[in-house]
Amino acid sequence: MSLAIFDLDNTLISDDSDYLWGQFLVDQGIVDKEQYEGANAKFYQDYKKGELDISAFLHFSLAPLALHKAEKMHHWREQFITEAIKPILLKPAIRLVNKHRFKGDTVMVITATNRFITEPIVKLFGIDNLLATKPEFIDGQYSGNFLGTPCYQEGKVTLLEEWLESSSETLEDSWFYTDSHNDLSLLQRVDNPVAVDPDDKLREHAHKNGWPIISLRNNVVTLGEV
């Protein structure tokens, strides 16, 4: 039995849930379109280039949670999951998660997108273990701040190591599936790194190191079956 770790955005789902949540807020009129939409797109481009200021982005993306009561935010989140996320769940990804589960592996998602957004998405895959940045929640209300280490780049490794210390799991024969070069630090820590529909930088790195490159969008597998 092994630890099978999955990225979420553009890996298990076919788009970026963080960006889509921002667009949902704009479309619903929850945030100002002119002020929010451009900044959301700019942060997303920075992420894809590996240049994201994660602290600045988290303060931007979590700020709307503090504008309304938590109950209202949860209601909007349910609508978001139904309208924006369920249509982009990838069936091959579900099969791959189940393949690991049936082998008896421990399945985990580790994602840069905050836990408010990702927790209900991960539940759609039947996955209990989630590492993601935690929004601060005080007296029944989101503050707009975050707690602890942001789950991004090296922060993913830090949070995983902390989780391993409190569990019986190890990285022996571990797997990590991701689309992003932002995850190179974690890919280099596991025994079985797998590039999933990778961006150009990750694809180049995978070819150089002989890592499997797979697609969960068209079932194409290269460099060996996973």
The catalytic site residues sit at 7, 9
Q: What is the per-residue DSSP string for 181-225?
A: GGGHHHHTTSSEEEEES--HHHHHHHHHHT--EE-SSS--EESS-
List of long-range contacts for 162-169, beta carbons under 8 Å, 24+ apart: 163/129, 163/131, 169/3, 169/106
Residue that is written with structure tokens 């797979």 in the block = 214
146 sits in which H/E element: strand 141-147
